[in-house]
């Protein structure tokens, strides 16, 4: 019974990674559409699919960090 209570109170890695994603995305503005600006804007507008891809990539990276996997080793491959 104690093991069950301990398991229910613990947060899953996926939940922690999601919280990390929310923090990083909100702080860095990842996945947020660019605000329209008057005049010339050199940056192209992202499509919604590109925003989703950015957020999914960021979530995968957050999950790897939470799980303790080394991102640098995977980047070398």
In angstroms, rounded to a whole number, what is the distance separating the alpha carbons of residues 77 and 24?
Answer: 25
pLDDT at 21: 92
For the stretch 33-76, pLDDT in tens is 666 666 666 666 678 888 889 899 999 999 999 999 876 666 55
Pick 48 or 16 by higher pLDDT.
16
Reported pTM: 0.63
pLDDT at 64: 94
Residues 13 and 63: beta-carbon distance below 8 Å: yes
């Amino acid at each position: 019974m104690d093991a069950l209570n301990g398991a229910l109170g613990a947060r899953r890695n996926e939940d922690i990674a999601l919280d990390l994603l929310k923090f990083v995305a909100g702080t860095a503005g990842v996945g947020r559409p660019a605000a329209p600006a008057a005049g010339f804007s050199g940056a192209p507008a992202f499509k919604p699919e590109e925003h989703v891809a950015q957020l999914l990539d960021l979530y995968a990276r957050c999950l790897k960090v939470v799980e303790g996997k080394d991102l640098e080793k995977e980047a070398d491959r």
